[in-house]
Amino acid sequence: MQFLLVQQGAYRAALADDIRRLGANTFQCKKCFRWFAKSRQGSTLKGPSGKVEPCCPICSDSHRDQGLLCVVEKDADLDNVERSGFKGLYFVLGGTIPLAAEDPEAHVRAREFVKRVEEDASQKILKEVILGLSATTLGDHTRGFLQEKILPIAQALNFKITSLGRGLSTGSELEYADPDTIASALSSRQ
């Protein structure tokens, strides 16, 4: 708050105006669940109701490797993996699963993730799912939960499930790792 108090009135007014317009100027991709600016919209997808829904520039980029799907916890993780040079697609879970959660699927987009994996794998698009979660206790717990959910699909439809290599320090958040470390973790995934 003190930061805002020392700024000029014009700065505070511009910031307040940006916050007011935030919802009108952003979309959440219906494929990967990433937030993106309206001005950077990619293509559109037909949703379950037949309604046309926005798709982010990454998901609509035909030059990306459609067979690689990297699962991350949050948008900041996606941005950081993107800076490492990764050229596949993403799925943003929306967090991690608490250790004592009675309903794990209430904490992340697990149902949406499994649906995406089933659709891509049944179309023979999916080659590999990379569980790109933070090297923390909650990240490991969430990774195990997701792996258990998609392992039968992977066995039936023949795609790999990998995790980032341990170029990341245990206990570190993916959001704060540098691009070279992430690139190393991607290349040494198991």
- Type of residue numbered 9: G
What kind and span of H or E run contains 52?
Answer: strand 52-54
Taking the complete model, does pTM exceed 0.85, yes or no? no
- Rounded alpha-carbon distances, angstroms, from residue 91 to 18, 74, 82, 133: 27, 9, 12, 11
Beta bridge partners of 92: 72
Domain boundaries, the chain: 22-63, 64-190
Residue 95: closest CA among 87, 103, 86, 104: 104
- Type of residue numbered 182: I
Residues 149 and 136: their CA atoms lie apart, in Å, by 20
Q: Kindly indicate whether the domain formed by 64-190 is annotated with CATH number 3.40.1360.10.
A: yes
What tens digit of pLDDT does each residue of 88-138 get? 999 999 999 999 989 999 999 999 999 999 999 999 999 999 999 988 889
Could you tell me the pLDDT band of residue 158, with boundaries at 50, 70 and 90?
very high
The per-residue pLDDT for 49 is: 54
The per-residue pLDDT for 170 is: 63
